[in-house]
Structures are given as C-alpha cells and as structure tokens.
Amino acid sequence: MRKHCRSNFGIIAKIQNDGVVSAVSLTVEEKFRKNALHKSWIFPGGSMNPGETDKINLVRELGEEISKEQKVLEIPHEDISFVLELKKPGDFGGRLTQNFWYVPMSEAITLRGEEQPDLLEPDGARLGQPTLMDIADIVTRKDLKLAHLAGVVVFMGRLLNTETARRYYKVEPEVSNAIRGRYEELIEPYLRKTYFFLERLRKCRDHKEYTQILYSYCKVLNNVRGKDF
C-alpha cells in the first residue's frame, strides 16, 4: 500500500513596524506507542480533504483549530504567501508533503480563548489554546516540531532580506531592516542548520535514511538551543 498525504500549516504572523514578529502557535498532545503522551508546539493546519486546493484547505483548518467561532475564516487567498514545501517518507512506503504558508494577522482572525481551551482531533490528538508568541520564543523552544521549525526559520530568513520580504510578503524595507536588527543574531544559527538539513532531506531515498538525518539534526539543534541568547 502506497499513500501520498498532503497537509498545510499557517504561519499566522503579526509584523510590527519596530521589527517585532509574533506568530500563532498551539500545543498538541499526541499518543504514541505504549500509550505514552508526547506534547509539542505546532502551527495550526492539517490534512487536505478530497477536492480541496491548498489554500482552501489551509483556511478551513485554521478556522477549525484557532477560530473563536470554529468556522472558515474570511482570509483573502491573495494575502496567503508560500513559505516552504517539505517532503518526507510516509507510512507504507508512501510520501508525506507538508506545506507552510504565511498568513498576515488580521481582524478576521479571532483566537479561541479560555471558554474552549482544548480541541480533540479525529486522530485523538488534543490541541491546546492558540497563543500569539514572539518568534524568538517559538524557535528556541525545545519542543517545537522539526518540520515547523524548518518552516519558521525559512520564513524569518526571507523577512531578514529586504528585497525578498518586499517581493513575497509585502514587507517594506525599513520594517525588514528593523526585523534584521532584532533577530539576526538569534535566528542565524537556525538558518544555517535548517537549510543544511533541508538540502539533505531532499536527497532521502527511504524512511531509515530520513530518520538518521533527523536524529543527527536533533543533536546539532540541541547544542544550538543550549546557548544563552
């Protein structure tokens, strides 16, 4: 049995003129082998339904997971910008494609609060309350999933480049300069390690090779995260 799964995740970011970048993230509690619980942080999103496009799927999933009303958000598709496509081996010899998108924070996005702090997914995962966090706090967490770490550091790398930020994300040069002044020293180690990691993953032939690269990458990241920023 060979299967190709595709999912989309939104980096919902609030970019301020003074260079502060915040993004919406949420906790996920999943049950693994031997019924052990694993908690981590992710960006909202999920798998595509038959007939959905990437952006339709993304907006639907964002509404279900973070919206106060849990309905499809009124986000213009032209405001959604591509960040990263990450492919890896999946179950039964299949492939798993994860896409990450930039979604500007707007009044249309209202986060569910304490009145409904947790959501139970069909696969049994429990999603915690969505939180708007500074990017620096997100990337230095030890429990951010690796694919999501890859997505956010690629996104930040583009924001640090004035021309790329303007072309792809409509961020003015003075704002990009402010972002670089605030985050370059903190994000730079992740940029180097993550791009190296992505290049190696693109050449993976099977799940064993992919797992070995992930393991070596985790060891390097733990050293980077162990520094005092």
Domain of residue 40, CATH code: 3.90.79.10
Structural domain of 208 = 4-225
Domain count, the chain: 1
pLDDT score of 147 more than 50: yes
User: In angstroms, what CA-CA distances link 118 with 11, 112, 176, 189?
Assistant: 20, 9, 35, 33
- The tokens 């693109």 sit on which residue? 202
The tokens for 135 are 């990017």
Note the pTM of the prediction, 2 decimals: 0.87
Task: Note the pLDDT tens digit of each residue in 59-110.
Answer: 999 999 998 887 788 899 999 999 999 887 765 556 788 999 999 999 889 8
pLDDT band at 124 (very low <50, low <70, confident <90, very high): confident
The tokens for 104 are 């500007």
CB neighbour class for 166 (10 Å; exposed up to 12, middle 13-18, buried from 19): middle
